[in-house]
Structure 1
């Protein structure tokens, strides 16, 4: 059974859902407008690669549910432009730069005005290398402070700040209309961020920044649990995905372990749609197996 329940709900059925919610917060109140009747998802870092594939998968798998896709330069993403043409009413494309907090606040305001809720946030932004500017560090002598700080800002600080700005909307959505049992914050990480899995060394800035993202997400999960806020917070390793990020480093990857963005997105959405409150604070692989921290 698909986690997004088939819904013909208009305003009358919304009232019925509220009456059967066992005291949960109503959709209608005097101080705020009505919330959008279907679950709303957001993908950060959606311009290409895995983020773009996740956006498309969510649009096609849950056709009644809006998706907000964000990236630094939406006008330069042909992939998002094409998706907007295919899904003109279901897809909203907005500018969000994970190094600029004011753009996060602007996106949160836009979602609030348009939908009044958010039920899932997936952050897929990440940086590993920039041609002629930034490369992974195979040894300590290659470590550069500017690259370290930039990787940390994009891979760790950016996603947790996005979560900060979207949290009020996630608390309103709470995954209502899905079978998840809560809203979701899912940050895309990598197996290399696991301290126990680090047997080869190298890749200093990428490993450390993604490990920090894991810690941020775990800490957020604990806070939500302690405050009894029904928000599920996880990190997910998508496997090695055939994108510009990984392309220079695919030589030793077996073909069966190198996924297209579409294949990885399908695996990730399956996990996202199956999440339950007891999964909060976990580090998952694309197989849904837990990875040691």
Structure 2
């Protein structure tokens, strides 16, 4: 079943969750991949480029949207089968579902040595905080839901296209390769790995 929704509209998210509930009654995996670089399609290179509306629009799509998705789909994930990830031997540590928020390396505060891209960096850093908060709240629930942020690498999409010339050929991933890497990470997750950020190769990213 394919559902069309705009993550900037809460009512559409609510209606999508209701349709999933009516048709399946549960959800095993939620991947929040909605993103925009900036309304202008170019990241800010200096403070002069910053506009309030640009920041607000970017955070609405990249941060608020995934958080509201989690709000409405978490109850379905708590009814999930635990089909994704690894289940520990201890039953109390089993999880029923997984939330994977697609972040970006440039959203890492500890890794930021270049600056720029105010809106996009801020939106992904805030998304990482949402991931951490979700992991704490949904990690206390029974059944538990694993929540992580995952950096997919530089993927050959419209979002990254203006910057392809600066990316080594071997570091520019096809969507298919990126998805394969992401699913490998997702299928390795358990409750002990919740609340963290991972890069496409499985290494942990600093917040």
2:144 to 213, 230, 239: 230
Match of 1:273 in 2: 187
Shift of 1:226: 3.0
**Rounded Cα–Cα distance in structure 1 between residues aligned with 2:124 and 2:137:** 20
Shift of 1:239: 0.3
1:169 to 76, 89, 95: 76
Tell whether 2:120 aligns with 1:211.
no
Aligned residue for 2:36, secondary structure, equals: coil
Shift of 1:273: 1.3
Shift of 1:252: 1.4
- Give the paired residue count: 199
Q: Which has the larger radius of gyration?
A: 1
Shift of 1:260: 0.7
Aligned residue for 2:165, secondary structure, equals: coil
**Rounded Cα–Cα distance in structure 1 between residues aligned with 2:38 and 2:162:** 9
Deviations 1:94-123 (A, max 9, x none): 121111001111111111111100010001
CA RMSD of superposed structures (Å) = 1.2
Aligned residue for 1:284, secondary structure, equals: strand
List runs of 5+ in structure 2 lacking aligned partners: 88-94
2:67 to 148, 154, 160: 160
**Rounded Cα–Cα distance in structure 2 between residues aligned with 1:282 and 1:174:** 22
Aligned residue for 2:115, secondary structure, equals: coil
Tell whether 2:152 aligns with 1:245.
no
Higher relative contact order (CA 8 A, sep 6+): 2
Pair 178,202 (structure 1): closer, same or farther in 2 beyond 3 Å: closer
List runs of 5+ in structure 1 lacking aligned partners: 1-91
- Could you state the TM-score of these two structures normalised by the residue count of structure 2? 0.92
Shift of 1:180: 3.0
Match of 1:104 in 2: 13
